[in-house]
Structure formats: structure tokens, C-alpha cells
Amino acid sequence: MVIASKLLWSILCIHVFWFYFFITGTLVRVKSSPARPGHAKARGRNHMAELVITSTTGMAITGFVLLLLGFVGLLHYGAVLVWLALEALLFKILRGSSTLFFC
């Protein structure tokens, strides 16, 4: 039973972090524009590739921010919370509407 509960907790944590990385990645990824009229689309959209690329972009942004916080000696809970608030503000400014649900 202990193994099952730890497995469930691990899967939950992985999905929460994956969701965070995906949301962070949407901050810099642009939406693909629709095809122009009169132009045939060579290939369809690959949604799995977009999911992976957006999530990986979010991981890279988060890693870079944590690296910078570590360099200046501010790698603690307070600084991470300030980063989350700054990220929500960036969504408000750059996207016009918040992608984060709590803002």
C-alpha cells in the first residue's frame, strides 16, 4: 500500500510540474497562424510536437530563472514565490489576458 501511495503522489507531482512548465512555455510560444486563402497546407499540425516543444520551453525558462536566482544567492521559497508573481504579471502584460487561472 505504501508503494501505491508513493507512486500516486509521484505521478501527481509530475503532472503538476508538467502543467506548470507547459503554462510557462506558452508565455513565449506564438500561436500558429492559419493558412492563407489560396495556399494549400503541406502538412497538418503536429499537436504532440507542439505540446513537447512548449513544455520544454517552459522547463528551459524555469531552469534559467533558477540558475540566475542561485547565482545571486536568492534560491529560497520567497524568491520562487516572487518569480511566480512576476510570471503572472508577465502573462497579464504580454498576453493581454491571463493564462493562469487564479489571476
Cα-Cα-Cα-Cα torsion 22, 71, 91, 32, nearest 10 degrees, comes to -50
**Residue 100 domain-assigned (yes or no):** no
Q: How confident is the model at residue 57 (pLDDT cuts 50, 70, 90)?
A: very high
Inter-CA distances, 98 with 15, 82, 103, Å: 21, 17, 6
**Residue 35 domain-assigned (yes or no):** no
**Residue 58 domain-assigned (yes or no):** yes
Q: How confident is the model at residue 91 (pLDDT cuts 50, 70, 90)?
A: confident
**Residue 101 domain-assigned (yes or no):** no
* Residue 65 C-beta-side C-alpha neighbours within 13 Å: 17
**Residue 40 domain-assigned (yes or no):** no
**Residue 57 domain-assigned (yes or no):** yes
When divided into structural domains, the chain yields a total of 1
Give residue 61's domain range: 2-29+45-95
With H, G, I as helix, E, B as strand and everything else as coil, classify residue 34: coil
**Residue 67 domain-assigned (yes or no):** yes
pTM of the model: 0.75
